[in-house]
Amino acid sequence: MTAQEHPIHYIEIVTPDIDNLCTIYTKSLGIQFSSMVPELGNAKVSELPGGITIGIRAPMHETETPVVRTYLLVNNLENSVKEAAQSGANILLDRMEIPGRGIIAIYEIGGIQQGLWQIV
């Protein structure tokens, strides 16, 4: 699947209340979550219909605040990061490999964090 066919790849929710949020999603959407997945920051993960994955995890350090971050599937991460920076985005994470899943980057613009994901 290319980025043009389905741009949303992963929805990451960072919260100190993982279990309660998973329960709400399970009850309201009828989805089930995995046990913690180490390569996704110990997120509990669920595959949504249509191929979108949702992950709910705790903050990984003291300064990480709760956030909902959508990762868009891109064909060329390097170019997409460069284009975001040229448009005024603050690059928070330039590039990080997630073993077996791809490479990601995160930027912020207008107070909104956006993730980019390239499957390699």
Contact 65, 86 (CB under 8 A): no
Main-chain dihedrals φ then ψ at residue 41, nearest 5 degrees: 70, 30
Question: Residue 35 class from Cβ within 10 Å (0-12 exposed, 13-18 middle, 19+ buried)?
Answer: exposed
Please give the distance of CA 54 from its chain centroid, rounded to a whole number.
Answer: 8
User: Is it the case that residue 5 has pLDDT exceeding 80?
Assistant: no
Torsion 7-9-15-17 (CA) sign: positive
pLDDT at 3: 47
User: Is it the case that residue 25 has pLDDT exceeding 50?
Assistant: yes
User: Is it the case that residue 1 has pLDDT exceeding 50?
Assistant: no
- Write out pLDDT tens, residues 87-117: 999 999 999 999 999 999 999 999 999 999 9
User: Is it the case that residue 2 has pLDDT exceeding 60?
Assistant: no
Average pLDDT, stretch 12-39?
96
In the chain, what are the domains? 8-118 (3.10.180.10)
